[in-house]
Structure formats: C-alpha cells, structure tokens
Amino acid sequence: MSTVTIAPLAESLPAFLDSNDFSAVAVIVDNHTFKFCYPEIKGLLPKHTLVRIKAGEEQKHLATCELIWDALTRANFDRHALVLNLGGGVIGDMGGFCAATYKRGIAFAQLPTTLLSQVDASVGGKLGVDFNGLKNHIGVFQQPNAVLVDPAFLTTLSERELRSGFAEIIKHCLIADAAMWEQIRRRDPDEQDWSALVAHSVAIKQNIVAQDPTEKGLRKILNFGHTLGHAVETHFLSQPRKRLLHGEAIAVGMVTEAFIAHEKKMIDEVLLTQIEEYVFAVYGNARLTEADVEPVLALTLQDKKNRGREVRMSLLDGPGHCAFDVPVTTAEMRRALAYYNG
Ligand code: NAD
Ligand code: MG
C-alpha cells in the first residue's frame, strides 16, 4: 500500500518528484483549490499541465473524466507521466480514476486539501465517479504512488466542510479505537488539534486497508454509517436545498445504524445514547420527512456491500469494534429511520 506522508508540501512534494523520473506532470484542481491551494505548490513544480474543473460533487461524473483524459491526450502524456490531484475527495476520486485508466494507468499522487480527503478519501485506493445518480458507481481500486497530506490546507476550509470531514474521524474511533472515542466525545468539538487527529485517523484507516486492500472482508467495517448514510446522501443529491455534505449524511447513517446494532443486541444502550447525543450535538438533526423514508430504503438496495437483494451492513458490536456482512431487513431500516426522525 502507498505510504502516507503528513508534512508541509514544501518538503514532501519536491522529495517525491526528485525520487521519481516522470516524463510530464499534470495538476488537477477545482475552482476552490485553484484559488486557495494551487498558489502554495505552484512554485514547487516543474513545467506542468493544469486541468481546472468546477467544484462540487455534481462534477464527479464521466463527462468530466473526458475533459481530463482530453487534456492529458492533448498534452501528449505518455505512460511515464504523473497526475497530481490537488483537492478534496471529488478531485482525488475522479483524478485518480482518470490516471488509473489513462493508457491503462499512469502514476498519480493524492494531495488532499479537505479534512475528509485527508483522513479518508485519499487513503486506500478507491477511485471512481458517480453514475446515473448513484454514488461512486463506476470505479476501480488502484493505490496512488504517493499520498502527501499537508494539514495547513485546512485553514481555508469552511466550518461546515471541516465538520463533514470530522464525521469520518468519529467513524474511525467508533469502529477501531474505543479510547479515542472516549477522548473526542468529552472534548469540545470546536477545539480540535486537526494535525494530531489527521495522523491518528490515517493510521487507523491504513491499518485496516493493509489487511484487506480490495474489501473482500475486514475493510467493510470502514463502511459503518455508510449504507443508510450513502442512501440519504444520494436521495438528497437532486434536492439542492436539502443537500447534505458526505459527512453530514454519514452522521445520519451512524445514528440509524447504531440503532439497528442496538436492536440486534450488538451494542448496549449506553453506547447508542452516547453516539446519538454526540452526533446530534455536532450535526443537528438532518430532518428527514416521512416522504424521504421509502426512497432512502430503495436506494440501500444499490449498496456495494449487498449480496443480491439482501442488504448487508457493517454494524458496531461494541465501542471500538465493528462486525461486517450483517444482514439487515427493510423493516429494521424503516424502524431506524423512524427512530432518527423521533
Ligand atoms: P470536495 O472535494 O467536493 O471538497 C469540498 C469543497 O471544499 C469543495 O467545494 C472544494 O472545492 C472545497 N475545497 C477543497 N479544499 C479546500 C481548501 N483547502 N480550502 C477551501 N476550500 C476547499 O469533497 P470532500 O468532502 O473532500 O470529499 C467528498 C468526496 O469524497 C465524495 O465524492 C465521496 O464519495 C468521496 N470519498 C471517497 C472516499 C474514498 O475512499 N475514495 C472516501 C470518502 C469519501
Ligand atoms: Mg465516507
């Protein structure tokens, strides 16, 4: 698996470029990372091709990939070229997918600039795009040649985006580190040492991915909160006013899936209450309505962890522990959504 370097890019990027012999370099940015992040690294790079796309999840589809492949082709990139993905999970997943498929695969490095991509999306080699309204429906597993994390980028991130990324940190603690869960839940959510949390979270994810890179088993625990979370996120994608950021949807998923784990007697009421209280304190209630329930349930049938039409979840079975491939019925999910709606 690729190593993850957490350091100022002024150190890590020249070291990475110098230790390789790339024939050409492309940098993929979105409008925001062009403005806030690209100026920080421009001076560290050799002559390069800049590919700038609009910001946002709506851009994460095959038509945008065509723009990227087109830019690489026009610049005559050969198989020894490098793609640098400077951005959040959208740029990382899509730029990585484009690199992994261009001429059957060229080198790429993730330079994650959001909290979510620093603690989660840039690590682990899952790449891809949304398709027909379904999240990450088309994609591949391919480990990046480098993941260079510079927490300094977080300073220009909005409060809302920071909170979204924090959901994956909470998830990592809940599935793998009970002591850390105890620490964070007692701390003021607005007073965080992001650099330390990033390092800790990356270590948890890397440890899990190293044991199961292509998600045949254990890696599925990283999907705690993501069956109902992804369904809720996808459901609201087409409703701009109710749209949730990824981590906000995962927050809904963590509460509802903790409820299911409690119903199945996998976790006690203490842990369920802790999760619920903490998540509501940080994220509020996403206000699902009665009308949202059935479409959300229908979307869970598309989950990549399912076996046929049977929904299988990763469910906590204690603080810091998570089981995977647990069959869950529609009735159980319906009760969990009703519980969340209060
Ligand atoms: P994002 O890439 O859309 O970034 C969020 C917003 O922040 C965008 O508007 C972006 O332009 C802006 N931004 C980025 N860096 C900034 C900075 N330093 N300062 C100011 N603004 C900045 O979204 P995200 O939350 O980073 O990632 C979500 C995506 O990641 C989803 O598509 C999700 O499916 C994917 N994801 C992938 C994995 C994986 O394992 N591959 C894991 C989790 C999530
Ligand atoms: Mg996630």
Residue nearest to atom 29 of ligand 1 (CA): 89
Q: How far is CA 255 from the centre of its chain?
A: 18
ipTM over 0.90: yes
Atom of ligand 1 nearest to the CA of 154: 18
Which residue out of 113, 250, 305 has the highest number of ligand 1 atoms within 8 Å of its CB and is therefore the one to mutate? 113
What is the reported pLDDT for 340? 94
**Every domain of the chain and the residues it spans:** 4-155, 173-341
Q: Does the domain spanning 4-155 belong to CATH 3.30.1300.10? A: no
Residue nearest to atom 32 of ligand 1 (CA): 90
Percent helix, strand, coil in the chain, to 5, is: 55, 20, 25
Atom of ligand 1 nearest to the CA of 165: 25
Q: Give the ligand whose atoms come closest to the C-alpha of residue 92.
A: 1
Distance 202 CA to ligand 2 centre (A): 13
Which residue out of 38, 54, 61, 116 has the highest number of ligand 1 atoms within 8 Å of its CB and is therefore the one to mutate? 116
Q: Give the ligand whose atoms come closest to the C-alpha of residue 223.
A: 2
Atom of ligand 1 nearest to the CA of 245: 25
What φ, ψ does residue 236 adopt, rounded to 5°? Answer: -90, -5
What φ, ψ does residue 50 adopt, rounded to 5°? Answer: -100, 125
What is the reported pLDDT for 2? 76
Atom of ligand 1 nearest to the CA of 117: 26
Q: Which CATH number fits domain 173-341: 3.40.50.10860, 3.30.420.40, 3.90.1720.10, 1.20.1090.10?
A: 1.20.1090.10
Distance 167 CA to ligand 2 centre (A): 8
pTM: 0.95
Atom of ligand 1 nearest to the CA of 91: 2
Using CB atoms within 10 Å of the CB of residue 290, give its burial: 0 to 12 exposed, 13 to 18 middle, 19+ buried: exposed
> 3-class SS at 112?
strand
- Scan for tokens 């695969």, then name that residue: 105
Residue nearest to atom 1 of ligand 1 (CA): 88
**What's the Cα-to-Cα distance from 105 to each of 39, 83, 100, 102, 295, rounded to whole Å?**
28, 11, 4, 5, 37
Residue nearest to atom 26 of ligand 1 (CA): 88
The DSSP symbol for 320 reads T
- Counting as low any pLDDT under 70, the low residues of the chain are 1
* Identical topology for domains 4-155 and 173-341: no
With a Cβ cut-off of 6 Å, ligand 1 is lined by: 30, 32-33, 36-37, 55-57, 60, 87-91, 93, 113-114, 116-117, 120-121, 124, 126, 135-136, 153, 156-157, 161, 164, 246
Atom of ligand 1 nearest to the CA of 93: 41
What is the reported pLDDT for 135? 84
User: Cβ distance 245 to 161 under 8 Å?
Assistant: yes
Q: Give the ligand whose atoms come closest to the C-alpha of residue 31.
A: 1
The candidate with the shortest Cα–Cα distance to 52, out of 70, 66, 36, 33, is 33
Q: Within a 13 Å sphere around the CA of 271, how many CA atoms are in the beta-carbon half?
A: 26
Q: Within a 13 Å sphere around the CA of 19, how many CA atoms are in the beta-carbon half?
A: 8
